[in-house]
Amino acid sequence: MLNVSPRRREYETLPGINDLGVPALAPMPAGESEDTRRIIERFGADILAAGLQSGQQVIYTTPERLREVMTFLKKEPQLAYEALIDVTSLDRRDLPMDNGEARFQTIYQLRSYARKQHLTVVCPLESDENPQVPSLASIFKSAIWPEREVLDLMGVNFTDHPDPRRILMPDHWPYHPLRKEVPLGGEEVPFSLTFDDPMFETLGKQVLPANSVSPALPPGMNRQNMILNMGPHHPSTHGVLRLAVELDGETVLNVDPDLGYLHSGFEKTAENKRYKDFVYYTDRMDYLSGMNNNFGYVLTVEKILGLEIPERAQAIRVIMGELQRIASHLFWLSSHVLDISGTGMSLLMYATRERERIMDLFEMVCGARLTVSYIRIGGVWADLPPAFISHLQDFLDVMPGYIDDYEEMLTKGPLWEERLQGIGYISREEAIDMGLTGPMLRGSGVDWDLRRDMPYSGYENYDFDVPVTSEGDCYGRYVIRMEEMRQSLRIIRQAADNLPDGLYKTDNRKVSLPPRAELDVSMEALIHHFKLMTEGFRVPPGMFYHGIEASKGELGFFIYSDGSSKPYRLHIHGPSFNNLYAISMMSRGHMLSDIVTNIGSIDIVLGEVDR
Amino acid sequence: MDWLNLLIIPLARSVALILVLLTAFAYLTWFERKLLGRFHVRYGPNRAGPKGLLQPVADAVKAIFKEEFIPDHVDKPIYVLGPALALIPALVIWAVIPIAKNVPAIADVNIGFLWILAVAGVESYGLILAGWSSNNNYSLLGALRSSAQMISYELPMGMFLVSILMLAGSFSLVELLNSGRAWWEWLWLWAMFPLFFICILAETNRSPFDLPETENELVAGYQTEYGGIKFSLFMMAEYINMITTSAIMATLFFGGWRLPFGLLQNVQILGPFVLAFKVILLLFLFVWVRASVGRPRYDQLMGFTWKILLPISIGYMMITSILVVLFK
């Protein structure tokens, strides 16, 4: 028999142009803010460092006191960091460290909605062989899935974690892919799943970690609940999501999502791509809102670079971002209606028709419709074509009428409200505790929108409302998204009417390419062109987290730069991933049909959940 | 014995009827897809033949030549029986429907109404057995839904039929059309038609009451494990059921083969065409509903029959009986 077992190969990098000598550590935080001072006052020497880094509040603490610090941050009324947005980790193996410095760090992003503050907590771990850190699951529910992700991809153990399973990679995977010693491809792939594998016995019948809501049975009786395997190939799981559902009749007792079928390792890929080359990858994560992904990534890199973006570019970005939000919401609406009613095919077609107009607009500006890569570091790829504004105006004129039509078709028709009201209820406290973002958060009564509360790209210049409702159910989220489309139109109209003249991308030649004509007359331009095309630009050492309000929630990028032209570590906080965590809690006690309603209401894209 | 009248003629009529129905089924799929296309702002099938008219033929060829695949984990005899059992009642009901003056499709039995009720009851077995024998969770859930739904909706439907029966005063459908109706009878019947139509939608598992096969929840419900021609048999059953029930509704509510005001009563040859025209109008209604009305949840569907439809139907029957006693 032919031996096809793959062998371990040494991974080679191209020597030469990209060797940059010794990489540098990000600088430690300096200075202080009111919050860091208050934290140091309380914990003293256990706060290893605190202050501002690239304008963001950062504190370093030890694993021993991590839980205490977090509880303090959450409970102390003057701090009130009520939400844990993201958990990630860093392997510093390839960085120039002093002896005895910790190799692994876990990094937490905290948010205070009331005070509009953001805080990064870094926790260097003690052991390099067996890194351990206490789990924050008992303080923030939103830590559960991201911690599983860190465990899976970085191999950091979380003590007292309620559910310490891998989340993206297969259970028997031997590596932790984000560790620096794992090569980018070329490693042996363990195809151990054969028919002799004991896993096959239980595949699709796993005993769920059930917090069942089944009624108490009389003594002596027992009942076996049906385990229904929904997905990964199921019409309504919006991609390759697998749900193991425990059913009592048609009542859902528990839902256990199984992720990772679309795990593409974007974070690992990013470590080997130059900053400017990773823009194209971001399109592929949430493939329904490519512009927003570009936007979030590009802004993060620009923040580390400290780059000034011309106002025209900022306004174009806002127009694109909001158009993309409408397109994404239209797609959400059409698939949501299809999932719920089956017969709502008509609405799917109508909403797709309008989305098509937005796609056409995108095609006008960049030639692509779905994976646009239009927003680039330093500005946008090309200036708006002359006919764009008039086409945009046409769209702006007709769209409000269409949104009213959709609403009328749904809310005036029978059954739509009955199907949504009271389904998938999330209270305000739960929404914050689970770290939900976007319409999920606003649907539960938290008045928070990054565009308004932490403005970026000139959003502070636009006049728009943030719809909030405290209904907390699928109907509330439906109302929010419909209203968001109208508000987006408002923003676009303002941006299009006052579109400033000027450059569409920065003229900083260290970052953006010189125009072709300049190459013929300027030696410097030629050098810049050559350096940018061969090496890319270098980003000063630093660490930065930046979130934008994407259509599905907060899309955050965390970048650790070591001074080279590639990110040393890039972490993506996808809104779908955190929002999907709520599915189990939302669906318990409801009917089987409501699972589908809830998935639609969360609005997930698996490309982003699995990344 | 009179072989000709007892066997040969009914047999010939049956064969002709089945051929007509199968052709009608094929072109009903075309009709529905074209119409849905219009509702959805798209074209619908337009590649095979002029206006896509050969599309049903292409689909039939494809279904027939697909691999005849029976999964390993199913209960084979029942699995094969399922689609057949679903199709047969849809065809058999036609026996009693009059297609022209004094001409029933096959036989003028004097228990026409009972025949319809009885055969409609058998219908659900096909789906239940198919879902049960498939040995698949989705199929099982679909089968359970279909049994509960069909049995529940048969109750109000039966009540409504009884009301019509009381007005007609005869079990025979041929007699029903021969005896005229007073104007208040027509109005009283038409007032009930929307509710009866809802029952029919549920009976035929048509959208928005297609809960046994809800693709968005149950993948394909009871027919998940079926493919090729066996799957087509289920589709056939559903569409022929639509035609059949439309014919029943046309007969009960809209005078079947008769033109309004007794026009051209004695031109026998017109009967089938008038009936067909009415059936097509009712089929349009089926498609229209499919394109515009959303699906209820399973518990809402059941709540609707038992809490709303059934009391109304009983009340309707009681009032009808009073009216019959007073005015007839």
Q: For residues A175 and A8, give the distance between their C-alpha atoms in angstroms, rounded to a whole number.
A: 13
Q: Say whether pLDDT at A205 is over 70.
A: no
DSSP letter string, B110-142: TTHHHHHHHHHHHHHHHHHHHHHHHT-HHHHHH
Does B101 or A437 have the greater pLDDT score?
A437
Residues B71, B58, single domain; the answer is no
- Nearest Cα residue in chain A from B224: A234
Chain A residues with a Cβ under 8 Å from any Cβ in chain B: 226-229, 234-236, 250, 337-346, 348-350, 353, 413-416, 418-419, 591-596
Residues B139, B80, single domain; the answer is yes
Q: For residues A499 and A137, give the distance between their C-alpha atoms in angstroms, rounded to a whole number.
A: 47
Q: For residues A122 and A66, give the distance between their C-alpha atoms in angstroms, rounded to a whole number.
A: 9
Which range scores top for mean pLDDT: A99-103, A342-346, A495-499?
A495-499
Interface with chain A: mutation pick from B217, B285, B300, B302, highest number of A CBs within 10 Å = B217
Interface with chain A: mutation pick from B211, B290, B297, B300, highest number of A CBs within 10 Å = B297
Chain B: give the shortest CA distance to residue A518, in Å.
Answer: 49
Residues B221, B258, single domain; the answer is yes
List CB contacts of B316: < 8 A, sequence separation 6 or more: B159, B160, B163, B192
List CB contacts of B255: < 8 A, sequence separation 6 or more: B177
Query: Which of B65, B81, B106 is at the close of a domain?
Result: B65
Q: Say whether pLDDT at A200 is over 70.
A: no
If pLDDT is split at 50, 70 and 90, which confidence band does A8 have? very low
If pLDDT is split at 50, 70 and 90, which confidence band does A4 have? very low
Residues B18, B76, single domain; the answer is no
Range of the domain at B82: 66-327
Residues B49, B71, single domain; the answer is no
Residues B153, B54, single domain; the answer is no
Q: Nearest by CB to A342, which of B40, B41, B295?
A: B295
Instruction: Please count the other Cβ atoms lying within 10 Å of the Cβ belonging to residue A541.
Output: 18
Residues B123, B218, single domain; the answer is yes
Residues B202, B61, single domain; the answer is no
The interface pTM score, or ipTM, of the predicted complex is 0.84
Chain B residues touching residue A418 (CB < 8 angstroms): 296-297, 300
Q: What is the pLDDT of residue A107?
A: 92
Q: Nearest by CB to B292, which of A228, A346, A595?
A: A346
B254 — phi, psi (to 5°)?
Answer: -125, 25
Query: Which of B65, B89, B117 is at the close of a domain?
Result: B65
B141/A228 CB distance under 8 A: yes
Residue among B239, B279, B284, B240 at smallest CA distance from B256: B279
A591/B297 CB distance under 8 A: yes
- Nearest Cα residue in chain B from A205: B137
If pLDDT is split at 50, 70 and 90, which confidence band does A206 have? low
- Segment-wise mean pLDDT, segments of 10 residues, chain B, 328 residues: 76 86 89 88 86 89 86 85 87 82 73 83 84 85 85 87 83 76 81 89 83 76 83 88 89 81 73 87 90 83 89 91 84
Residues B79, B44, single domain; the answer is no
B294/A414 CB distance under 8 A: yes
Beta strand A83-91 pairing with A104-112: antiparallel
Query: Which of B65, B81, B105 is at the close of a domain?
Result: B65
- DSSP annotation of A504: S
A419/B290 CB distance under 8 A: no
Q: For residues A568 and A273, give the distance between their C-alpha atoms in angstroms, rounded to a whole number.
A: 10
Q: Nearest by CB to A416, which of B40, B294, B299?
A: B294
Residue among B208, B290, B291, B277 at smallest CA distance from B247: B277
A594/B297 CB distance under 8 A: yes
List CB contacts of A607: < 8 A, sequence separation 6 or more: A239, A262, A264, A284, A285, A286, A287
Tell me the residue length of chain A: 611
**Domain total in chain B:** 2
Tell me the residue length of chain B: 328
- Mean per-residue pLDDT of chain A: 83
Q: Say whether pLDDT at A181 is over 50.
A: yes
Q: Say whether pLDDT at A22 is over 70.
A: no
B216/A346 CB distance under 8 A: no
If pLDDT is split at 50, 70 and 90, which confidence band does A108 have? very high
A413/B291 CB distance under 8 A: no
- DSSP annotation of A77: T
Chain B residues touching residue A236 (CB < 8 angstroms): 216-217
DSSP letter string, B35-54: HHHHHTTS--S-SSSGGGTT
A315 dihedral zone (left: phi>0; alpha: psi -120 to 50; beta): alpha
Q: What is the pLDDT of residue A13?
A: 44
A470 close to A343: Cβ distance less than 8 angstroms: no
Residues B56, B83, single domain; the answer is no
- Nearest Cα residue in chain B from A248: B141
Tokens 């410095």 belong to residue: A101
- Nearest Cα residue in chain A from B139: A228
List CB contacts of B132: < 8 A, sequence separation 6 or more: B75, B78, B139, B140, B143
Q: Which amino acid is at A161?
A: H
A596 close to A340: Cβ distance less than 8 angstroms: yes
B27 close to B54: Cβ distance less than 8 angstroms: no
Residues B14, B142, single domain; the answer is no
Burial B184-217 (b: 16+ CB within 10 A, else e): ebeebbeebeebbbbbbbbbbbbbbbbbbbbbbb
Strands (E), A503-611: 542-550, 553-561, 567-573
Q: For residues B42 and B45, give the distance between their C-alpha atoms in angstroms, rounded to a whole number.
A: 10
Residues B215, B84, single domain; the answer is yes
Number of Cβ pairs < 8 A linking chain A and chain B: 89
